[in-house]
Structure 1
Amino acid sequence: MLTEAGGTRGKTTTVDSDLPPPPTPPKQGTFSSLRIRNYRLFFSGQVISNVGTWMNRIAQDWLVFTLTGNNPVALGIAAALQFAPTLFLSLYAGVLADRLDKRKLLIVVQTAMAGCAVTLGVLDVTGTVQLWHVYALCFIFGCFVAIETPVRQSFVGEMVGIGQLTNAVALNSSSFNLARVVGPAVAGVLIIWVGTGMVFLINAATTAAVITGLFMMRPSELQRGPRVPRAKGQLREGLRYVKGRTDLVVVLTLVFCVSTFGITFFTTLAIMAANVFHKEADGYGLLSTMLAVGTLAGALLAARRSFNGKPRMRMLFGSALLFGVLEIGAGLMPTYLSFALALIPVGLAVMTFMTTANTTVQLSVSQEMRGRVMGLYMLLFLGGNPIAGPMTGWLANEFGGRSPLIVGGATAILAAVILGIVLRWRTKVENAAV
């Protein structure tokens, strides 16, 4: 042990000589997390890679539509296959995130995801692609995404520390949605100019940016918690931890309801563009861009609010309620232009909900449990998509292309109201018991 001078005259602090000095926390502000080198590298790579991801998403949807004659059920099946692996891999990915080196694990998984894009691109460019190829690669890609997402989510805290976690989560959302503004619009044009196959190959190339950023990081500057040793029952331990927390159970249930039935834009926007307003790929891309304008604004507002303290439950439930109302309103819009404009406030509300839910969960759990809890979070956030994809296609087929938006909005409203009442009641009961 050694003693060093503190910041105030005459004050000393005792530190362990075997540990590096803790990094100086950056000043608070809208972009304060970007002052941290490791996070800056990660963020920069994500911006580029996310543009490719959104281009890939639009091209994949349009390829399915092209191969099936604009069949909304086929689009729902593709979405279900891509998100189905979340059901059986997310929880174990959370265990891996607590047990292994997250940075190295992300490098491996990101490389595998790029390989999927290359494979689909080559099949498409050579003219040999068939619908079952797309379905198979959707499932394989979904397996890697199911592993990557909980690891990436829990890795944010290691890069920036707990004090900057809210800000970094909000900035991650802003990078994702900045790409969502650019990616679909670019993809819509490129699909017409060079075809969907080249878009898949471009996406594979953009993945190199995030992999390079991960390689360039300084591992010594990561703020890692205690490594969880390999042992039996770690997954059950994480589930018991969540079960004992009423606030987490309610928040995670709300996340499941809103994401499964309300956040179905992967399929609903393609259906609205092609089957309701009879637009081509560029029209679909523009709808995705308009939604992204709202989500980007919501992410930046969340980053600005991040230095005001821990998110409040009132913000979480209020944003879910507002999202439901706005989604129903968008579904009732009579024209393509009015629908596109209505997507901006919808995007703002849904991003406010998503960032608030994410940071509420991460800041409410201990560091050694964060990977497993975020694995459960991502299971509930994405795991409903195998239900939502076919459900959205069926609703559109039976009741028209607008119906998934109206049903999703109504579900979000009911979930916010009912679960808000449950949380308030449980809180009163627990306080009275104390």
Structure 2
Amino acid sequence: MTRMTSTNLADGRELIYFDDAASATPRPAESTTDRRDLPPRGEPGEVRFDALTREWVAVAAHRQSRTHLPPADQCPICPTTAGNPSEIPAPDYDVVVFENRFPSLGPALGPVPENPRWGTTGPAFGRCEVVAFTPEHTGSFSGLSEVRARTVMEAWANRTAALSALPGIKHVFPFENRGADIGVTLHHPHGQIYAYPFVTPRAGVLGAAARKFYDDADGRQTLTGSLLRAEREDGSRMVMEGENFSAYVPFAARWPLEIHLVPHRHVPDLAALSGEEKDELAHVYLDLLKRLDALYPTPTPYISAWHQAPLDAVLRPASYLHLQLTSPRRAADKLKFLAGSEAAMGAFINDTTPELVAERLRAVTVPASAPSAATTVIEGAPA
């Protein structure tokens, strides 16, 4: 069972250690004491209402001074040493979650203004957290053992539940940006979790489509569940199928590399998964990342986006947890840039075919990872 230890950094930010299930040694006292002299936390930025799209835009000018690709000996999420008093006081750790020192949202909590119109602004309420996957400065998620990946699953699930319960929060989004081509500012393997005070535009679109399908089906089916069944029946875009999760390249994939990982059971978020489901998810997710990296001679940049149900009474019942794993890499030495049609019109033009991408992903030989105590064998989809 994953052990949690909660503490506070010198400026009051929360930090939580998540220890692997196999870790039996009690956490030493120095792990919970941040001895740095940090300045007080700043006030939130602001959100501005875009009357053209009816969307909220966060303005976070203070993030211009955030840490950018520091040398390894000054990494802020490596374990603390005498020469590098980092964000993590411990001399070692398994997985750590802490409040971002340069948050896009927060640290204060509250709702966005009601009945907004042109010129409406408000504090950028919410919370932004960093998830450090490993104490190792180099490597990536795909190099973790299944035991460690399972600890990350537990951290995501725990933080989803905790952040969802905070005042004013409407949507919780765990994600990982991997690679300089995506725009990461720290090389250390890590992800983030944003807790928004509004339903994000993408979640709103997905939620509205899901709700309409749900209503038309009188609540008997969900949109994501029906798409999963259709993809499994067709088979040409399936990447893998398991007892509790299946992965496929969607029929209308927007990105050169895009994979959806979907639970077989309708759940709103990671917090709703059972222990058995999280065991399998750790295995399947590692497998997908390894397949992505094996396509080319060098690691593939990606965005790993966990779509969770908004905390909205109308949208939440029909919404369905799923992972969207995307990369702009369209060839070994080429990236797809969002130019005129995509960036301005939101009309994507894909340079690859979903069926061919799925076939390539199925054909990859995936190196074995260190197994967990409860690994579910995932069989590849038929070619």
The bucket for the TM-score relative to the shorter chain is: 0.3 to 0.5
Higher relative contact order (CA 8 A, sep 6+): 1
The structure with the largest strand share of the pair is 2
